[in-house]
Amino acid sequence: MKIVSAKKILAGNDKIARENLEFFEKEGVFVLNILGSPGAGKTSLLEALLPRLRESMPVAVIEGDLATSQDAERVAALDVPVVQVNTEGACHLDAAMVSSAAEALDLPRGGILFIENVGNLVCPAGFRLGEHLRLVVLSVTEGDDKVAKYPPMFQKTQAVALNKVDLAGALEFDEEKVRKDLERLLPGGRFFRVSARTGLGLEEVETWLREERACRFEETSG
């Protein structure tokens, strides 16, 4: 019998993730890993953010999915450079997949590379990709218990965007509960209330991204 340690696999992944990050820093590319359940609105949020950001900086996207290129086609329709990674069943992206995808991509030097992870609230949390920051998209249609039930996803991110808040009135969604669970699991983390559909809250997300990129890549004067 052979036993493969998950710890070893993760350590190998972390090494490639560190190399990816070094590469992205050298190329002047700020990288955001977007995570969340299927249907949370990760692609919709991207579709809403990309046109706003690319007015002033280059943007590009790596799309991770088990199958199809439907999300990549939605991004390509905006004339944004995009590479689709089909994981062929794997339920998360890993750093090696991102490394290959980055080679195939027209890198957004001086701008932002978005990586949309496979829709899944569990194992993508454990795989670093070489990103600077993570954003978890959680939607009100998923229910208010998801933060408490999937702690690693919410402990290993820097920000959470609560999406579809325009629909909250039709659901019994307890936003206070979500805020309290997040305060416990992610103290000091950023929280955005957004609707990719109506545009609500997108300006805050955009400002956050610009500031986080600037503090890493733009030299301060004086």
For residues 208 and 157, give the distance between their C-alpha atoms in angstroms, rounded to a whole number: 14
The C-alpha atoms of residue 63 and residue 34 are separated, in whole angstroms, by 10
Q: Are 130 and 95 in contact (CB under 8 A)?
A: yes
First to last CA, the chain: 62
* 92 near Zn ion (CB under 5 A): yes
Least spacing, CB of residue 80 vs Mg ion, in Å: 14
Within residues 178-217, the interface with Mg ion by CB under 5 A covers none
Nearest partner of 57 among 215, 206, 219, judged by Cα: 206
When asked if residue 134 is in the footprint of Mg ion (CB under 5 A), the reply is no
- 6-37 burial, b if ≥16 CB within 10 A, otherwise e? eeeeeeebeebbeebbebbeeeebbbbbbbbb
Least Å distance between CB 130 and Mg ion?
Answer: 20
Among 13, 43, 139, 163, contact with Mg ion (rule: CB under 5 A): 43
- Asked if 91 touches Zn ion (CB under 5 A), the answer is yes
Closest to Mg ion by CB, 43 vs 157, is 43
DSSP β-bridge partners for residue 32: 114, 133
Question: Of the ranges 10-18, 52-60, 69-77, 191-199, which one interacts with Mg ion (CB under 5 A)?
Answer: 69-77
43 binds, among Zn ion, Mg ion, none (CB under 5 to 8 A by kind): Mg ion
Instruction: Name the minimum Å distance from CB 100 to Mg ion.
Output: 20
Residue 35 Cα to chain centre, angstroms: 5
Quote the least distance from Cβ 92 to Zn ion, whole Å. 3
Contact by Cβ (8 Å): 14, 128: yes
The span of 14-22, 29-37, 91-99, 183-191 binding Zn ion (CB under 5 A) equals 91-99
Q: Residue 13 or residue 43: which is nearer to Mg ion going by CB? A: 43
Q: Quick one: which of 105, 123, 148, 167 contacts Zn ion (CB under 5 A)?
A: 123
Provide the binding-site residues for Mg ion, judged by CB under 5 A: 42-43, 71
Provide the binding-site residues for Zn ion, judged by CB under 5 A: 91-92, 123
